[in-house]
Structure 1
Amino acid sequence: MNLALSSHIGFRYWRARKANGFASFITFFAVSGILLGVAALIIVSSVMNGLEGQLKQRILGAIPQLTVHSATPLDDWQSEVEALKTLKGVQGATPSISTQAMVQSHSNISAIELYGIYPSYEHALLKTMQRSFNGSFEQLESGKYRVVLGSELARRLDVSVGERVRLLSGEGVVYSPLGPVPSQRKFVVAGVFEMGSQVDANLAYIHFEDAQRLMRQTPGEIKQLRLYLQDPFNAAKLRPDVVLLFKAKQIDVTTTDWRESYGHLFGAVKMEKNMMSLMLSLIIAVAAFNIVSALVMMVVDKTADVAVLKTQGLSTFDVMGIFMIQGSLNAIIGLICGLAIGIGLTLNLNSILNSLGVSILGAGQSLPVELVWGQMGWIVIGTLAISFMATVYPALRAAAVQPATALRYE
């Protein structure tokens, strides 16, 4: 195949396409369709990425991303923490204890997930909450019986910093002549955090040793480690490595991760993102069909030219190359313009909406936007692949022209 010759003729035909007004009209809509499809796909994908990233920060930043449960107390848990940090993808690990509990105020009662932590080790947690925290995690001191509540939970209970609430735990139940009595104790609200997600309504933190007393566990025993990961979405891949690490030390452990409590939420977000991408990809596919229509009309218009070129020695593949290059040029123009417009609008989306006076999420809130360059690469590859396949049929039609038949009445 003589690529240079096919490219030269294909470019000449592409430049002269205005000779057929209707074909030019269809070509314009094909290029416009690819432009709009690519731009819309970039904008919507970036907003969905931003939403997913925001949920990851607001939810997975506050809960254990991966938890190790040991059947026996970890006598040297500091060395286990250092060993866990050597695993790829693990940022750190801290002692933790958790239980389902009830919290009661003077006006209401609510079910919560209660975590016992050592504030001095929770650097990652403090970094996540430092901009949305009223109070201080450092006030969680052993024996002081203080608690940090989510903002929505505090609102439901109608309590603020400094007021008292009662925590009741199902673990550590004692049996009396009147029946089982849950372990309970009054705590002072030391702070209120706000992550802007559903964890604000069902999460509370207390000191690790206070949690052990509330749950009537042996003081000082650590059977649970809370892991912080570079990417929480890799928790499932890390679980076997964590188990093997402890198995090598003959320590029997099990693991749980965030998917057991919030996997359905992120699964729904991922499905929505995939469906939106599929729907917008159909715009590009429809535009590719317009390329087919325009090229078929061009083939009909240039039948005599193709016949003459074939009599002069142009091969079947050379003829196919002419029309495939011509159709690909339309796709490339639409792709480049779509990328430029899509990326430009994405990077300035909130500024544009503010200037138009449009507030999608409400006053004072901006759309989360995250431009992922890897996705841009897949959009480019997918668009070029669809457009290239759209040129195959018209190119085959052109290559099938018989010179004797086409030139019979010329």
Structure 2
Amino acid sequence: MNFGFSFFVGYRYWRAKKANAFASFITLFAVSGIFLGVAALIIVSSVMNGLEGQLKQRILGAVPQLTLVNPQGFENWQQDTQILIDDVNLTHSIKGMTPSTSTQAMLQSNANLGAAQVIGVFPELENGLSSIVDHSYSDAFNSLKAGDYHIVLGSQLARNLQVRTGDKIRLLSSEGVVYSPLGPVPSQRKFVVAGVFEMGSQVDASVAYVHYEDAKRLMRKNPQVIDELRVYLTDPFDVERISSDIVSLLESQQLPVETKDWRADFGHLFSAVKMEKNMMSLMLSLIVAVAAFNIVSALVMMVVDKTTDVAVLKTQGLTTSAVMNIFIVQGSLNALLGLGLGTVVGVILTLNVNEILNTLGVSILGAGQSLPVQLSISQLTIIVLGTLLITLVATIYPALRAARVEPANALRYE
């Protein structure tokens, strides 16, 4: 007896009309549970991936992802940058590097006060790297020039300060403090609002950009010294490995550096999003698990119903493993039916979720906004393989029970 015979019998049992109506209902319930669970897992995980990707773009595209700090300054930062980009372990991880500096400052307008992280950059070096360039109005970012003391504010920060383009605001920096007989006096200077940027995230209320040299003068530091390099990463979530590789490589070049990255300010936010995504996946996976238990119930009923058939087959030489395979095939076909339908429907709904919501007149994020959706092939593979594994394990107990049928006892009263 080979697997082909077991498959044939298992398929016939699966296709045959069930004598026990309750067993048929349990089977339908199990297939429906797998179908709904898989479809929901695909849709929800894709939407959560999209939300996470949108957060990554809107937040990590506006703030320094990784910063290299050398208090003595980088004497030739272009050469140091090239060393890192050319390294085989980093060439695909680093998009680019530019000089940068930042300070926490208080911003004062005629109407209000606000606090923000003020970042000093060379605008001409940021094109193609920083998301701010593409999200600033009227090309305000590229209008930053050394000595003009212009500033680009986040849209929410500008609204809080009640300022618009052309207005003057005063910046007070915590760095560059001088001491007078009246006590410590912070460094301060007036800046002209050159424009605003809007990323659609919380950075709009807490970040401002100025020219690198203007920021250095505000902090009472030498504008000719480059002591920080801003690193743009292909995947900001891989920052831990990349920073370790960078430190090791630069130390081998006798250039000790310190690193700081986005996790210090925004790590808690992305950790919360990741935990929420994992919890949602866990909750939806329970639907699949419940459906797998229903497969167990349906197969146990089938074993009881087919006890006489199994006994006859065993008297004709059917092996224990062949009997197990019959019921494993039957349970697996139910699982494959639910999994196949769930995968197809889940993928179709995921790719068309915004069109479906618009047709139904439902707006989850508000008028004019669509759900960000990112279908991950790797996650889809994990969902499919995980469901197959769970349902395959669920068929083992009923199959073992069928294999233990003793022909003499089963046929005694037949």
- Give me the TM-score of the superposition, normalised by structure 2: 0.97
Name the counterpart of 1:323.
327
Matches within 5 A, 1:155-174: 155-174=159-178
Does the aligned pair in 1 maintain the 2:62–2:130 contact within 8 Å?
no
1:350 aligns with 2:349: no
Name the counterpart of 2:209.
205
Does the aligned pair in 1 maintain the 2:133–2:139 contact within 8 Å?
no
1:68 aligns with 2:68: yes
Quote the RMSD (CA, aligned, Å): 1.1
Matches within 5 A, 1:310-389: 310-389=314-393
Q: Secondary structure at the match of 1:192?
A: strand
Query: In the TM superposition, what is the alpha-carbon distance from 1:178 to its structure 2 partner?
Result: 1.2
Name the counterpart of 1:26.
26
Name the counterpart of 1:214.
218
Does the aligned pair in 2 maintain the 1:43–1:343 contact within 8 Å?
yes
Between the two proteins, what is the percent identity of the paired residues?
65
Question: Could you tell me which amino acid in structure 2 is paired with residue 55 of structure 1?
Answer: L
Rounded Cα–Cα distance in structure 2 between residues aligned with 1:128 and 1:73: 26
Name the counterpart of 1:113.
117
Name the counterpart of 1:16.
16
- The gaps in structure 1 that reach 5 residues or longer are none
Question: Could you tell me which amino acid in structure 2 is paired with residue 200 of structure 1?
Answer: D
Matches within 5 A, 1:178-189: 178-189=182-193
Rounded Cα–Cα distance in structure 1 between residues aligned with 2:329 and 2:161: 68
Does the aligned pair in 2 maintain the 1:124–1:228 contact within 8 Å?
no
Query: In the TM superposition, what is the alpha-carbon distance from 1:132 to its structure 2 partner?
Result: 5.0
Counterparts in 2 of 1:132 and 1:382: CA distance versus 1, 3 Å: farther
Q: Secondary structure at the match of 2:178?
A: strand
Query: In the TM superposition, what is the alpha-carbon distance from 1:3 to its structure 2 partner?
Result: 1.0
Counterparts in 2 of 1:141 and 1:364: CA distance versus 1, 3 Å: same
Does the aligned pair in 2 maintain the 1:84–1:93 contact within 8 Å?
no
Name the counterpart of 2:7.
7
Name the counterpart of 2:77.
77
Deviations 1:33-63 (A, max 9, x none): 0000000001100110000000000000001
Question: Could you tell me which amino acid in structure 1 is paired with residue 256 of structure 2?
Answer: D
1:275 aligns with 2:261: no
Q: Secondary structure at the match of 1:92?
A: strand
- The gaps in structure 2 that reach 5 residues or longer are none
Does the aligned pair in 2 maintain the 1:94–1:226 contact within 8 Å?
yes
Name the counterpart of 1:195.
199
Counterparts in 2 of 1:56 and 1:263: CA distance versus 1, 3 Å: same
Question: Could you tell me which amino acid in structure 2 is paired with residue 201 of structure 1?
Answer: A
Rounded Cα–Cα distance in structure 2 between residues aligned with 1:334 and 1:25: 14
Rounded Cα–Cα distance in structure 2 between residues aligned with 1:20 and 1:358: 43
Query: In the TM superposition, what is the alpha-carbon distance from 1:368 to its structure 2 partner?
Result: 0.8
Name the counterpart of 2:309.
305
Q: Secondary structure at the match of 1:19?
A: coil
Question: Could you tell me which amino acid in structure 1 is paired with residue 163 of structure 2?
Answer: V
Does the aligned pair in 1 maintain the 2:6–2:325 contact within 8 Å?
yes
